[in-house]
Chains A and B, each alone.
Chain A
């Protein structure tokens, strides 16, 4: 008999209820951020034969407890701080600084014009050049970005979506020029367009041609760059836009299925591309719910891949993920408090078994991080890894009555959302119907109202405020580089072999109108120093633009 059904447990509950009259609890009911009720106490629920099926040992299907047998006893997660601003030269300096400080992987932030396929001198780029990331117009900028950094040794994550093929092609050409064979490059491109329509907003083309560009990359990398993660299917931004944990989990896995379907429809074999699919989740406030979310994600994906898609390679079943802690929980008020928030969120990601981690800097609700605040963010991870001992056993919260129960519930609730999306014709159709977007907006507004009614406490914002906030020291990005960027692109256009550029772009256009894999043609255009704006422009002409 399960403990919950025993008279021992029932008596305890009655006794406790009687005590409530004298000593009521802090709240009538307790909830996770996804409105899952939190019980007073959790008791054993899984029986022994369910253990293998539902949890499994670490490194064993369904990977609830982790995708590796030894996890961080073998090697700590990759500490990967997202960085980039201003010019390629300036960002190159920040990268070298972070590598010197013990960071183990690079993560490139691109500015918005680059992410949306405009050159720095385009009218649409006004005010945005180099703001949220580094400005990349052509291969020349990319060469400067990685100067003195060997692409054989470093693994690089690039937050790039609609123009992912272009930036990946640039990365490959830089490697080649360094004398590094392309099959050796390691890293990840985000390349997740569906969540751009849902939550992040840096789309260019409509869904159908966007999905084609993605499957072209899958196919090209399987043959040419087998160590490169071809996509990072992202719940991060869905959560930042206001979704709760269950929605983050469900929408991400639904999007993942859409990519698998598209690749299968393009004729790829599942075990060829699935091992290179990576995920990207948010590390949010509700500590145990977050741990449960990561564990549920692994179990759900393993089952989807094995049972629904019939993948045979265990690598196809394993959900590998990067975590960034939640930017939207950072407060502009009393920014030092954010260091504590980040540490706790990062701890949840580690206890959830993340493969890599970005910890936010305390001042990011106000501006880009200063060198000091960026260092504290990295140190936070290093303290968790080296001082707390949490990395010394695999899945330390496994078997916690509460965490196991919550893991089951996350799975159940997320499955309901995925069913709804299936009924709507899958993630691409649901995006078209704005279904996820509306769900997220509703959740975001509910959260805001709960904060304003003080149903949710945000320390320093709606409680424990200071009368006067000291003025924090913020990073000032020197705007003068924009002039240099504009001069450089002008010079590039006059110096490069324009016949070669035009030939490469015409070739690309021809094949974009057909059905060939576009990667080789994009790579040739990049090699001829065609710009991000020019290449995207050709594809805009052929594919059209998505209207949000």
Chain B
């Protein structure tokens, strides 16, 4: 278990509007972080002192009075002076676009403007802190490395093979039945990826329903990725609808999970982790 993420939410300057600061503080707490709120009217010096005393990973600055261009960079400067530039500083408030750009150039990691969902802020803080700690989740959030396979729904693997074997001279691996998912599958290796032919086992099989509705043809695309669980957790946090909330074992013997097609413009996306072959799926 990693140390809980600690965040200081601060109100620099004289601004008394703390609705946003308080909502963010509560939202980060609900996301499992420890949050300290400074209260109103803090000077940059007080904020930096509190950040060091409380040993926080991140500082969130909220300002709606227009003083952000002066106060936010001053907090960064004082943190550098204290050799605490590893503390992630983010901000929000009534901040015009060009100001946000210039603050981010100066080292504020992210400016959130009105209307940002709290979970977006929570996801940002979590990722930024874990990255800066160099913890393993960082690897998990590498983008997918490649297309592991392309799934094609067919009524009969044998009949489909006439095209791949007779016309293209490709060879299929032995077909495997995956009763949990109601399919029989055969992989056809193809360069550094594979074609996966999916044949329904019985009428209730999801693949049977797919064929009934849309006919045979392209069924899904599978991306290979490491750290599947962390990736699913991140997608869930960010509001992507998952068909599998946690990994299941796929036909290839390694953990897989499907996302809802609406996440990718109607394309069914599978995420899988071939590097975890044989480890099974933690329940």
Contact = CB atoms under 8 A, between A and B. Distances in A.
Interface in B146-178: none
Given A452-B117, A548-B40, A131 B66 contact: yes
A121 interface: no
B65 A328 contact: no
B16 A200 contact: yes
B133 interface: no
The 5 closest A-B pairs by CB, nearest first: A201-B16, A127-B70, A127-B67, A112-B14, A131-B66
A127 B23 contact: no
B266 interface: no
A386 interface: no
B71 A332 contact: no
Nearest to B63: A127
A444 B23 contact: yes
A445 B20 CA distance: 9
B115 A131 contact: no
Interface string A62-99: 00000000000000000000000000000000000000
A180 interface: no
A263 B250 CA distance: 77
B113 A196 contact: no
B23 A333 contact: no
A204 B48 CA distance: 24
17 contacts: A113-B14, A124-B14, A126-B13, A127-B13, A128-B14, A131-B66, A196-B16, A201-B18, A241-B17, A333-B115, A365-B94, A365-B113, A367-B66, A367-B96, A452-B117, A462-B117, A548-B39
A332 B115 contact: yes
A506 B63 CA distance: 37
Interface in B107-166: 113-115, 117-119
Nearest to B68: A127
Contacts of B68: 127
Contacts of A202: 14, 16
Interface of A: 112-113, 115-116, 118, 123-128, 131-132, 196, 200-202, 240-242, 328, 330-333, 364-368, 441, 444-445, 448, 451-452, 458, 461-462, 471, 474, 477, 548
Given A201-B40, A366-B94, A116 B14 contact: yes
Interface of B: 13-19, 22-23, 26-27, 39-41, 43, 65-71, 74, 94, 96-97, 113-115, 117-119
Contacts of A333: 115
Nearest to B14: A112
Contact of B97 (A441, A471, A477): A471
A368 B66 contact: yes
Contact of B118 (A328, A448, A461): A448
Given A458-B115, A471-B97, A127 B69 contact: yes
Contacts of B41: 116, 124, 201, 548
> Per DSSP, are chain B's interface residues mostly helix, strand or loop, or mixed?
loop
Contacts of A441: 22, 26
Contacts of B113: 332, 365-366
A462 B96 CA distance: 21
Contacts of B65: 112, 128, 131-132
Given A333-B115, A445-B26, A242 B14 contact: no
Contacts of B19: 240-242, 328, 444
B67 A331 contact: no
B16 A331 contact: no
Nearest to B97: A471
Contacts of A448: 23, 27, 118
Contact of B96 (A125, A132, A474): A474
A240 B22 CA distance: 13
Contacts of B69: 127
- With a 10 A CB-CB cut-off, give which of A116, A132, A240, A368 has the most chain B CB atoms: A132
Contacts of A366: 94, 96-97, 113
Contacts of A118: 14
A234 B191 CA distance: 71
A124 B65 CA distance: 14
B26 A132 contact: no
Given A240-B17, A365-B113, A444-B19, 20 more contacts: A112-B13, A116-B41, A118-B14, A126-B13, A126-B43, A127-B70, A128-B13, A128-B15, A128-B67, A131-B65, A200-B16, A240-B19, A241-B17, A328-B19, A332-B115, A366-B113, A367-B66, A444-B23, A445-B23, A448-B23
Contacts of B94: 364-367
A360 to B, nearest CB: 13
Nearest to A241: B19
